[in-house]
Structure 1
């Protein structure tokens, strides 16, 4: 099988191959000895170890077992399954416009029971008003030089947010105070968005924490990330969307979220921060 055309996916495969090679070396096995234990040819071991052939789930489990590291298999299998999806350039994702990207995640949103979201730059998508989303998405399309269907994409983004009001879903959301101050769209757009945050805070299934400018940092400001139950994390970079599925890596994001939660303010204090931001719009 040829390598993925995505350099990010290939880089992910090389990381997996490197981890498998390390396991073999730590077990003090030669490539030939490992192949014998796994019941395949030495050439196959070499292709896997040099990231020329992506291993199957069974290959990874056999490799780990042969190296006496069966406990490593779960993480490696999860990372291997999502190598192609774990790093997708925004320009590729948005090559036909952004509406489709909003709709593709609807099944994920509908099956997720606990959303943990941290945003340091913009209001989380599921809490965006249509005007705010349209202003943001049009800016993104212009920056990425991709088709601008921001109006349709914004409507789809708001539609997928029905999970906030329907079904058995809980939301724990953390926003840096800067999010309340960054001007996305007009003053009216920002006022409407911030007003909507105040309204959503009243919902029993929604917790919104604001991390003040002045908070003593336990965790430094990070890139935005979304945790979907304990099964998946989505991380938003400038150039790409990264999907994390390895349990040990998801645990790191959960640890970061827990640390950030401790420096946030909630309830009356959070509402006061949002109200101050509204009043500053003039």
Structure 2
């Protein structure tokens, strides 16, 4: 896997910095002269050119105006906004509420034909019950001090599960066995959630594999991630959600998912693991 799941965002920042540097060079203006004309500290130009800081929309307009490259403004603003969305802290995503967080990628979900989920912490969201969702979202809100519009967030997340039954969407899910035993909620909720996994396995659109504890690993346990067709990866970190769009990195996650899926058991063996987890609840 990639050394850092945020490297796509870092590369995007650097690419924007290189474009700003090229515009500056083409203009024949020095960074010092640009900073003086813009009323900036000279160090700001260095931070922007080296990708340490993303430019604001106003920064781009000022830079391009001074460099007589105003035709570059729309593309640069669009690229900056895209880069800004690649690595986003949860607290920033939550500003408009938990419900909004659940709705941010609905169009992506609707367009995706093949979903791949690797779950090392929670059940895959298409198969989560409302009770399990409540436990997860409540714990998340408590930890990150997020808005507590839990009911609205559950409704929004539940609505996404219709994709299991609509259209030609397919879902390949791989879980660590430990997820079955993590007591995210009380025993009744966990029993219902585990039962939902058993039901979900019977759907023609779903493939569910479980990596048994104690399996000799070719690939280690890692952060939860999901792949949308072969175009985008979303990685869930403690502090942030990371969107990966670089083809080279996507290829690594596809390879990683394939290897993890190869370590999982399916069918009756997976059902036995789920049934054993239900039996362990008492």
TM, length-normalised to structure 2: 0.77
Aligned match of 1:241? 241
Match of 2:271 in 1: 271
**Retained in 2: the 8 A contact 1:172–1:208?**
yes
Paired residue total: 241
Alignment check: 8 A CA contact 1:9 1:84 kept = no
Give the RMSD, CA atoms, in angstroms. 3.0
1:251 to partner: Cα distance: 0.6
CA distances 1:55-92 after superposition (whole Å, capped 9, x unpaired): xxxxxxxxxxxxxxxxxxxxxxx997731011111111
SS in 2 for 1:95: helix
Map 1:1-282 onto structure 2 (within 5 A): 13-16=12-15, 41=28, 43=30, 49-51=49-51, 82-282=82-282
What's the offset of the Cα at 1:9?
Answer: 9.9
* Structure 1 residues without counterparts, runs of 5 or longer: 1-6, 22-30, 55-77
Q: CA deviation at 1:105?
A: 1.6
- Alpha carbons of 1:205 and 1:9: their partners in 2 closer, same or farther (altered >3 Å)? closer
Q: 2:81 and 2:165 mapped to 1: Cα distance?
A: 33
**Cα displacement string for residues 235-260 of structure 1 (whole angstroms, at most 9, x for unaligned residues):** 00001000001111111110100110
- What is the alpha-carbon distance in structure 2 between the residues aligned to residue 16 and residue 81 of structure 1? 13
Bigger mean CA deviation after superposition, 202-211 or 80-89:
80-89
- Cα deviation per residue 1:253-278 (whole Å; 9 max; x = unaligned)? 10100110110000110011001001
Inter-CA distance 53–101: structure 2 relative to 1 (3 Å threshold): closer
C-alpha contact 2:128 2:193 (8 A) present in aligned 1: yes
- Change over 3 Å in CA distance of 1:230–1:185 after alignment to 2: same
What TM-score does the superposition give when structure 1 sets the normalisation length?
0.77
